[in-house]
Amino acid sequence: MRSIVLANGEYGDLGFYREVLQGFDKIICADGGANYAYQLGVIPECIIGDMDSISEEVRNFYQARQVEFKKYPKRKDFTDIQLALSMAENMGAEEIILLGTQGKRFDHSLSNLYCGIEYVKRGIGIIHYGPECSIYLTCGSLVINGKVGELVSVLPLGGGAAGVYLKGFEYPLENVVLDCDNPYAVSNVLAEETALVQLETGVLAVFHYSGQEFAG
């Protein structure tokens, strides 16, 4: 089962997301993510969080359509994204695409990335999807489809990553260790339209900048 989680972050042109919102089994809004779902004409399965960011108009709209609300105290031990990811997993999600998880608050963006570590270790696909950059979390094998020349950066999350292979890139890697304190695998370039990222242990965040080519 595939799920989408809408967060309360930066989106840019909302028209970019209409295609990805098609064909999903469950859509969950993390608090103010419901404001964007409303603008996109989406009826979510559930809205979850402390409800400090959702507008009154949007709240009334979804309540009238009997959308489930799961409200938590503002002072809690989990972020709204953590709550939404947990709900998606409990619903049986095998892949979760997160929208609006990147933005001006770098601490929020980083927290959102960290939230997915344990899920990808349990075999659930995690993608942070955006108009300029999509971030894929993997602890095994990942295929990147794009245009030759597009930028891709690879960084370990939550510790080192070993047995890393990059194929189809201008700067390939073979059986290397990537450590958080030596983050050199950035600004790589697609040498083929289909490239492969593999690792034996650890978790990698793969940043794919669609449509953005290396300028030298």
Percent of the chain with pLDDT over 70: 97
Number of domains composing the chain: 2
Task: Annotate 69-93 with DSSP letters as a single string.
Answer: EEE--SS-SS-HHHHHHHHHHHTT-
Residue 136 included in any domain: no
Predicted pLDDT of residue 79: 92
Residue 127 sits in the same domain as residue 21:
yes
Contacts for 156 with CB less than 8 Å, ≥ 6 apart = 178, 179, 180, 183, 202, 203, 204, 205
Taking alpha carbons only, the member of 90, 91, 44, 47 closest to residue 69 is: 47
d(C-alpha 58, C-alpha 43), whole Å: 11
Q: With a cut of 90, say whether residue 215 has pLDDT above it.
A: no
Quick check: 139 pLDDT over 90?
Answer: yes
CATH number at residue 165: 2.60.120.320
Tally the C-alpha atoms within 13 A of residue 84's C-alpha that lie toward its C-beta: 35
The pLDDT value given to residue 76: 81
Residues 86, 147, single domain; the answer is no
Q: Do residues 104 and 181 share a domain?
A: no
Domain boundary among the residues 131, 166, 182 is at 131
Q: State pLDDT tens for residues 18-40.
A: 888 987 889 999 999 999 999 99
Report whether pLDDT(159) > 90: no
Based on the domain organization, do 119 and 166 belong to the same domain? no
Residues 146 and 79 grouped into a single domain: no
Under 8 Å between Cβ of 98 and 128: yes
Which of 131, 161, 193 is the C-terminal boundary of a domain?
131
Full residue range of the structural domain in which residue 185 is found: 141-213
Those residues with Cβ within 8 angstroms of residue 9's Cβ, 6 or more apart along the chain or in another chain: 100, 101, 102, 103, 105, 108, 109, 112
State the pLDDT confidence band at 213, using cuts at 50, 70 and 90.
Answer: low
Question: Mean pLDDT in the chain?
Answer: 93
113 and 37 in a single domain? The answer is yes
Q: What CATH number is associated with residue 103?
A: 3.40.50.10240
Q: Which residue(s) pair with 190 in the sheet? A: 169
Q: pLDDT-based confidence at 65, cuts 50/70/90?
A: very high
Same domain, 51 and 122: yes
User: In this predicted structure, what is the pLDDT of residue 83?
Assistant: 95
Whether 101 and 19 share a structural domain = yes
Report whether pLDDT(9) > 60: yes
Sole residue written with tokens 């409303």: 38
Transcribe 44-65 into DSSP letters.
-SEEEE--SSS-HHHHHHHHHT
Residue ending a domain, choose from 131, 153, 175: 131
Among 58-62, 77-81, 145-149, the least confident range: 77-81
